[in-house]
Amino acid sequence: MKSISFYFMRALGVCALLAIIAAGTSTFARAPLGQGQSRPQYPQGEKAPEIPEEERQAMGKVLNAADATAKLQAAGEYLKKYPKSPRRPDVARHVAAEIAKLQDPAQMIGLLENFTTVFQEPSEAELVVPSLMDAYVKAGRLDDAFSRATSYLEKNPNDVATLTNMALIGVEQIKKQNGKFAQQSMTFGMKAIQMIEADSRPESISIADWLEYQTRWLPQLYQSLGLISYASGNKADAKAKLEKSASLKSSDPFTFLLLSGIVNDEYRELAEQHKNATPGSGKDELLKKAHTKMDEIIELYAHVLALSEGKPEYQQLHDEIMKDFQAYYKYRHNDSTDGMQEIIDKYKKP
């Protein structure tokens, strides 16, 4: 998925600013802006005001500055002279885009934070928040990232890119045994799911990119939030979310692996109850339920094996699951493997 800042930064860069400097006018072509941001509008067929030569030269200094640091400094000088200029948003976007290209998270954070002291309009500050969150994450400053995301999303509740990214970042932390951001990630993820399922496409996202949210990121979100629920002990909610993920995207072996773990827990509970039950119809019923759960596990394992077969990145997983699959299958089929491969084959994708 595109980074948090992608939908805000995609239209930023040299071209727009260069066109203004060269032509002396601006047509302000539509671009993906943050919530609450806007560009100057002019009646159809009417050009923007001419740019005085002196201001055009000041903008040129920003454009031609050697690096992001120099551009920010030149932009500061520009704003001292032309604080009310209608070209100010374009200068801000250009500088923000250049800072976003930096590879060093620490340097990017320093410049982005300085950016908000130079460009102090609320819309300008919000312009760099997605990039700043991205840089915080890369620098390992997760507390700062989630704190900034929370305050940002209070003002921009429909930024599905940020909602999705921050939810997935929180899940990655859970995989590392860090559940500190689980609740925030669940909140962000559920909001993103609601928007995607309601087909509430933000104007900043193209139809093609929105289709990717519907077909790729929606099942990923359900899978990720299912993992959060499982880690928090809510296995029923975890199972429901994982089953939803599997129904949306049946080609991800990891979803079926997670489901098999939950059903395996259910089987073990029944097996333990059966072990401790007194002989009789109740004990027999528990055994029947345990066998039904084992059959569910066999089917889920077959999914995992079919979808991971022949893929190097899943080879270790495939081999480990195969051992358990064979053991369960043989137990349920009088120690025979007849028909075992057929169960796997039926879940293979053409």
What's residue 47's pLDDT?
A: 57
For the chain, the structural domain boundaries read: 1-156, 171-249, 251-350
64/156 Cα distance (integer angstroms): 33
| Of 153, 132, 254, the residue nearest 202 (C-alpha) | 153
232/18 Cα distance (integer angstroms): 52
Mean pLDDT of all residues in the chain?
A: 86
240, burial (CB in 10 Å: exposed 0-12, middle 13-18, buried 19+): middle
What's residue 29's pLDDT?
A: 26
Note whether 128 and 115 are within 8 A (CB).
Answer: yes
142/149 Cα distance (integer angstroms): 10
Note whether 40 and 90 are within 8 A (CB).
Answer: no
Note whether 293 and 274 are within 8 A (CB).
Answer: no
Strands (E), 67-200: none
16/173 Cα distance (integer angstroms): 38
Regions of the chain where pLDDT drops below 50: 2-17, 19-20, 23-44
Give the predicted TM-score (pTM) of the model: 0.79
